[in-house]
Amino acid sequence: MLKTSKSNIPSLAFGLSRAKVDLDLPQMQQRVSAMTNWKSDFDQLGKSGHFHHKTSVFSSNDVQIISVASTPTVMKVSAPDLTVAIALKGYFQTWVGGKEFVLGEPSHAMFYPGGKRHTEGGTKSVLLINIPRRRLLNSARVMLGEPALRHLDLDTPRILHTRHAHVDLLRVIYHTCTLIDQFEGNLDLLRNFTPDESIVRAIVMMLAPSWFFAAIESPLLHSASKEKQLTHLCEYITSNLDQPLSLTTLESISGLSGRVLQKEFKKTHDCAPLQWVREQRLAKARHLLNMPTAYTTVSSVAAQCGFDNFSDFARRYSLLYQELPSETLKKALLFR
């Protein structure tokens, strides 16, 4: 997955072209303090004068993903948030609450519940994911319901498996890293793919895999019940097109899991849930543009239909209706 770097350290998981490079330890410590809310103290291992450290950071909502590649270092950290660390290349040892853990392969991840930790490692490339506890709990509650919360155990440091049966959760995280590079960290574009949500969901599954996978294999709801919930959800969507409507929101409103929603929308509307939401937004936009008032503008219609990126709205609208939204409005005003 990682490409070979010309430097003496492995490549980053994402953001190589925008990475910050530090060849000076105090400079690196200042950068880490500025990008995180950690209290940290670093030192280098091995020969002095050979320090090399690269970082790339992506933040979306309250989730922070940090890709780090460095020569051997020792790190003492006190962090308020939950952290998941994945050694993509190389290894590290870490001590938390008097317990020692060793991580050296990407099929495992280290979970830190917050607080103090001490970490030492050789030349390595590591992915760090910082998540506020409340965010992870909220996602778990939506995904699996209230009973799941007691299975998560957010207070015990431990090594997590990233692979379960045929499911490789690390690939979900790699996919997010690829998206970040694809859009060069552009938040407006990336927001359409909810990268922070994908990351949090993958970590929820790592924390309680047996309970989660058992839950998604449980018998499905009766068809009549699912149809009623889906109808209620569609009514909610069409009444709230000006509001953010993520998959997590749809799960919460309907009471159905993301997997069931995908299946039911495919069966009923022949598309994915968020694709159906987008289609309803565009249909409402066309209706408003064809029935303008004296105060109608393209930007106001885009906002009413839940598009916070004007250029994205215009692109999607013209692809579907073969004309720009401004052209629809112009024609409608001519025939008023």
Query: pLDDT tens digits, residue range 262-292?
Result: 989 999 999 999 999 999 999 999 999 999 8
Indicate if 174 and 298 belong to the same structural domain: no
Structure-model confidence comparison of residues 17 and 217, the more confident one: 17
Give helix 223-239 / helix 247-254 axis angle, nearest 10°: 120
pLDDT tier at 140 (50, 70, 90 boundaries)? confident
> Tokens 């980053």 identify what position?
12
Instruction: Say how far apart CA 246 and CA 302 lie, in whole Å.
Output: 18
Residues 177 and 225 in one domain: no
With a cut of 90, say whether residue 7 has pLDDT above it. Answer: no
The pLDDT value recorded for residue 257 is: 80
The CATH number of residue 278's host domain is: 1.10.10.60
State the total domains in the chain: 2
User: Looking at the structure, do residues 273 and 327 belong to the same domain, yes or no?
Assistant: yes
pLDDT tens column, 237-257: 998 898 888 888 888 777 778
**pLDDT tens column, 202-237:** 999 899 886 665 544 444 445 566 777 888 889 889
Instruction: Please check whether residues 329 and 278 belong to one and the same domain.
Output: yes
| Token pair belonging to 152 | 């998560």
The CATH number of whichever domain residue 38 belongs to comes to 2.60.120.10
- Cβ atoms of 70 and 87 within 8 Å: the answer is no
Of 50 and 317, the structure prediction assigns the larger pLDDT to: 317
Average the pLDDT over 300-328 and give the result.
92
Residue 48's pLDDT band, with cuts at 50, 70 and 90, is low
Q: Are residues 177 and 227 in the same domain?
A: no
Mean pLDDT of the chain: 86
* Owning domain of residue 158: 16-181
122 vs 214: which has the higher pLDDT = 122
Domain co-membership, 227 together with 168: no
The domain boundary residue, chosen from 181, 205, 236: 181
d(CA 66, CA 271): 34
Q: Are residues 35 and 173 in the same domain?
A: yes
Residues 264, 123, single domain; the answer is no
Which range has highest mean pLDDT (144-148, 189-193, 245-249, 297-301)?
297-301
Residue 119 lies in a domain: yes
Q: What are phi and psi of 87, to 5 degrees?
A: -85, 105
Q: For residue 6, is it within any domain?
A: no
Percent of the chain with pLDDT over 90: 46
pTM of this structure: 0.65
Task: Identify any residues that bridge with 96 across adjacent strands, giving them in sequence order.
Answer: 99
Tell me: pLDDT of 308 over 80.
yes
Residue 207 domain-assigned (yes or no): no
- Is the pLDDT reported for residue 191 higher than 90? no
DSSP result, 53-119? EEEEEEEETTEEEEEEEESSEEEEEEESSEEEEEEEES-EEEEETTEEEEE-STTEEEEE-SEEEEE
Q: What is the C-alpha to C-alpha distance for residues 296 and 135, in angstroms, rounded to an integer?
A: 38
SS (H, E, C) 260-321: HHHHHHHHHHCCCHHHHHHHHHHHHHHHHHHCCCCCCCHHHHHHHCCCCCHHHHHHHHHHHH
Q: What pLDDT score was predicted for residue 145?
A: 74
Please give the pLDDT value at position 251.
83
Same domain, 142 and 258: no
Q: Residue length, the chain? A: 336
Q: Band of the pLDDT at 1, cuts 50, 70, 90?
A: very low
- pLDDT of 5: 41
